[in-house]
Amino acid sequence: MTNPYSGATPSGATPQSYAEPAAGAQNYAADYPAGQPYSGAPAMPTTETGRPDVEGTSVGDLIGEVTRDLSTLMRQELELAKVEMKAEAKKAGQGAGMFGAAGFAGYMTLLFLSIALWWALSHLVGHSWSALIVAVIWGVIAAVTFVMGRKKFREVNPKPERTVDTLQQVPGALKPN
């Protein structure tokens, strides 16, 4: 699978994952003229040490470029999250289908084992009593699993604690120290 976010790229470079999008994906690179960085601003020259040469550039231009870069980064991160979630949802759906098939096969096994038990007990106590015994056994199993399931559901916390905690830390991380 192609990763929509390939990290930092040099000014003017087009990452391979954006140059050739997957089938059905939107081509974001087509929105930008060739040879220009994703921020929409012309490429900033660099010094011999490889750092941006900001001499003569206004603070407003620098802040504008940082804002555009942050906006681009957020869009790329959201796109990455969507791609990852889609892939994980597909795997989860396939796993759920397999669990469904296994559940049906287990149900059929229990059905035929119950019929066999009913038939075997009918030789000892008669057909009616043997059917009642098998039904009571399944009633006890159903009651026990219901109680266990209800106990597990009471332990579920619908509030995503870690996500709430990390989202509360985001505004503090953006403030200057």
Q: Mean pLDDT across the stretch 105-118?
A: 93
Q: Does residue 2 have a pLDDT over 50?
A: no
pLDDT tens-place string over residues 126-177? 888 999 999 999 999 999 999 998 898 888 777 767 777 766 776 666 666 6
Using alpha carbons only, give the angle 124, 127, 129 rounded to the nearest 5 degrees: 75
Q: Mean pLDDT across the stretch 27-47?
A: 53
d(CA 10, CA 15) in angstroms, rounded, equals 9
Selection from 132, 129, 134 nearest residue 111 by Cα: 134
* Share in percent of the chain as helix, strand, coil (round to 5): 65, 0, 35
Q: Does residue 56 have a pLDDT over 70?
A: yes
The terminus-to-terminus CA distance of the chain in angstroms comes to: 40
d(CA 59, CA 82) in angstroms, rounded, equals 34
pTM above 0.85, yes or no: no
Question: Residue 32 — very low, low, confident or very high, per pLDDT cuts 50/70/90?
Answer: very low
Between 6 and 88, the more confident residue is: 88
d(CA 4, CA 15) in angstroms, rounded, equals 9
> Considering the chain, what percentage of its residues have pLDDT values greater than 70?
68
Number of residues assigned to the chain: 177
Question: Residue 51 — very low, low, confident or very high, per pLDDT cuts 50/70/90?
Answer: confident
